[in-house]
Structure formats: structure tokens, C-alpha cells
Amino acid sequence: MIEAVGLTKRYGAKTAVYNLSFQVRPGAVTGFLGPNGSGKSTTMRMILGLDNPTSGQVTIGGFPYRRLPNAPRQVGALLDAKAVHGGRSARNHLLSLAQLSGIPARRVDEVLGVVGLQDVAKKRSKGFSLGMGQRLGIAAALLGDPQVLLFDEPVNGLDPEGILWVRNLMKSLAAEGRTVFVSSHLMSEMALTADHLIVIGRGQLLADQSIKDFISHNSADFARVRTPDTEPQQREKLTAALTEAGGQVLPEQDGALRVTGLPLPRISDLAHSADVRLWELSPHQASLEEAYMRMTQGAVDYRSTVDQKAGLQQQLPPGAVPPPQQLPVAGQGQPGWYAPLPPQQGGQPFAMPQAGPYGAPGAPGAGAPGPYGAPAAPGTADVNPYAQAPASTPAPAPEAAPESAPTPAPAADLTKPEDAR
């Protein structure tokens, strides 16, 4: 078990971690979340004895890392996949680590097989891709068969198969009773991997709870309600009925309604009493990403701004129509508001307009698109751009080449020998 008590780390006038206390228990995958610059890497370095805390302490199994007997046999870590001598092969890199810790050489071949690098074991690591470097770092962490494992962004650079493999590996290690501590910025992957969450912001603890409790405490569940698109009066009637009953109603971009404060059966009864037909009535629970964004929105240090493109925008030609701008959505920015789901068109979810061969939507009622997506004139027949012109159509005369232009070389004779007889 990893336990931090009052952990604080200062670098001059900057406080990277302040009074941080938490426990990472065995038998579960614990996710370590926080915005960039929140102190996650500093905390993991203090756990491994790479940085000394200014105050407080952190222990592994009741001892600081530096006092653990043969620490590599008890703790495995991946903090930087590039911390490898590029001139060494993958096997020699692991073999040197094994010899320093008294680990038998046969274990090197075992972990190379676990991470899938057995075929490139004798290749120099400087030629490895980012994903291969991650696999080699994971192999180094598993080398001593430790009971405590720490991983910082373990899926960085991996393909989908590698990400799935890491997810299953973390779960299997935790199922064996090991302590697994994983830091990652991929919320969707963390939601599938972690059982417990520790969230920090600007060096301070924000949450220490299970994923289920974290989402329920930092999100507002809502109901998505949709009325017939062809009858806007029913939408207005339903909005009035729900608001009168104490619900909060926010419109979404696709015309649906986001309702909070009322359970689904109550919404259905109110719609029936108001004689309003419903096309959709579905519950929605916020994702881990939405709950995380809501909790950490005040602890983000690096915020992007809108690109104004000052002085770089080209003037529109006379008579040109400027592109339509997206209108603001009512309720956006208010507490409990989240980005709406993908729009629906014609009652079909995720329906997209019919596009031409190169992604340009065809105009309604226009003829068949041309070879490059441009619609043909209505009433004209389809033309094969590669078909030869009819014999009765005279070919246009070629333009005369300038006198200064060099005379083209004669074409090579590609006639087969037997055809030349």
C-alpha cells in the first residue's frame, strides 16, 4: 500500500504539491488524475524517492522507498519511457537492470514475451517507436515481479490493440492483489480501467473516491426529451408544463430538451396530461470526462483562447455570402450544462447530408455530381470524364508552342518485337 501524509513539495517560490494525503490500496487500479501542472509527476517522483518532500512523508508498505530492501523487487515503475540507453538492445537493457537487482536472466525473456517484444529483443532501442518504448518501459516495471506498480501515461503512443492490452494487464495485476497506481489524461480509458480515483489540482487533493461516486457527486443527471420536429407548439407546451412542475429545461442544438429536477416517470405523466407526443425520453448520466471537467475547471493553469486571426483573414469577393456562424445555445455556461449529444436530422440519429465523392454535400434538387463533387447542371446527362469524344466532334487544335520552347524528345518505341514485323 502507498500512503502519503501531509506531502508538500516546493521549488523556490513555487509550491508544486501542498499538504497532500491519500492511500493507494492493493487489489484495485487507482487512477491519478489532474490537469497539466497539477503536481502528478512530482508526487510520483516523491513516492519513488527521486525527489525529497519539503514536508510530510510518503511510504510504501510502511517504509520510504529508499529504505525498502531491494526496492526493484518490491516496486516497479514507468515514469519515462525514453529513459533507455539507445545503443543497447531491448534485452541487454533489461538484463542490466536484472543484474543490478539480483533477478535471474530467464526473467528478462519472460517479460519480453509479456509485452510482445520478443521478436525485436536484439534490436537497439534507439530505433524503437514510441509505442515500442512504452512496452519496453512496462517490461522493466514488471521485471522484479513487484507487488506495487506505478505507471505514468502507460498507453501513450500505443495503438488500439496495445491500449486494450495495457487495460487488461492493469486489471489482471490488481486482481492478483497488487497495488496499481496509474496516471493518465485519457478519461475514456481511465473510466474503463480504474476502480478508484485520486484527483488533484494545483497540488491539492480534490477527490479520493470510487469512479461511481466521483461521477455522481460531480455531475447532474438529466433526461433528454424530444417532441415531433414538425410541431414546435408541442415543444413549447411541454416546456411550460415541465417548468411549472419544478423542472429545469434547457434547449439543445438539435431541438431536443434537457430536463433536470424531474424523474422520467413524472416527465412522461406531464407530457400525457398536456397531450404532447414524445419522440424520445431517455436518461443520461454524465461521463467521467464531464464530471472531471466540472470538478477541475477552476484548477486549470493553461487555458486556450480563441484564434482571432487578426490581419490574416482574406476579404470576401464582392457579392460573396459569409459562412454561417454557430449560434450560442441557451443555457451554455450555466451550472449543470454539458455539451449536447451529436445532432439528429430527420429523426435519424447521426444522420449526415448526402455528400459528393469528395465530401462536398450535393445541393438539393441538383443533378448528379461531377467527377470532383461539383453538381452537374439540372437536366444534363451524366458525362464520363474519361470517355473519348464522338467521331463527329472535331478535336480542338493544339496551341502553337512558343518559338523558344525546346522541341520535345520523340516518344520511346514501345512496340513489341513481334509486332514490328
Q: What is the DSSP letter of 361?
A: B
Please report the pLDDT score of residue 274 as a whole number.
Answer: 92
Mean pLDDT of the chain: 80
Least confident stretch, 4-8, 119-123, 231-235, 361-365: 361-365
5 in helix, strand or coil? Answer: strand
Indicate whether this model's pTM tops 0.95: no
Q: Give the single-character DSSP code of 99.
A: H
Q: Any idea which architecture 2-216 has in CATH?
A: 3-Layer(aba) Sandwich (3.40)
Domain positions in the chain: 2-216, 219-292
Which of residues 295 and 312 earns the better pLDDT score? 295
pLDDT of residue 180: 97
Q: Give yes or no on whether 2-216 and 219-292 have one common fold.
A: no
Summarize pLDDT for 260-305 with one digit per residue, the tens.
Answer: 889 899 999 999 999 999 999 998 877 888 888 888 888 887 778 8
For residue 37, the one-letter residue type is G
Q: What is the mean pLDDT of residues 405-416?
A: 48
pLDDT, residue 332, reads: 52
For the stretch 44-68, pLDDT in tens is: 999 999 999 999 999 999 999 999 9
The pLDDT of residue 343 is above 70: no
Query: Rg for the chain (alpha carbons), in Å?
Result: 32
Percent with pLDDT over 70 in the chain: 76
Task: Decide if pLDDT at 417 tops 80.
Answer: no
Q: In 211-358, which residue ranges form alpha helices assigned H by DSSP?
A: 211-217, 232-244, 264-273, 288-296
Q: How many CB atoms lie within 10 A of CB 3?
A: 17
Instruction: Assign 92 to helix, strand or coil.
Output: helix
- Cell output for 259: 430536463
pLDDT at 290: 84
- Joined together, the cell numbers standing for residue 312 give 490574416
Higher pLDDT pick, 145 / 329: 145
Give 348: exposed, middle or buried? Use CB within 10 Å, 0-12, 13-18, 19+.
exposed
CATH topology of domain 219-292: Alpha-Beta Plaits (3.30.70)
pLDDT at 324: 63
Q: What is the pLDDT of residue 328?
A: 53
What integer is the mean pLDDT of 335-357?
Answer: 42
Q: SS3 for 26?
A: coil
Query: What are the pLDDT digits (tens) for 182-227?
Result: 999 889 899 999 999 999 999 999 999 999 889 888 877 789 999 9
Contact 186, 19 (CB under 8 A): no
Angle between the 90-101 and 130-142 helix axes, to the nearest 10 degrees? Answer: 20
Cβ atoms of 330 and 250 closer than 8 Å:
yes
Average pLDDT over residues 239-245: 94
What are the residue ranges of helices labelled H in 200-286? 211-217, 232-244, 264-273
Does 163 have pLDDT greater than 60?
A: yes
Q: Per-residue confidence at 173, pLDDT binned at 50, 70, 90?
A: very high
Quick: pLDDT tens for 99-155.
988 999 999 999 999 999 999 999 998 889 989 999 999 999 999 999 999 999 999
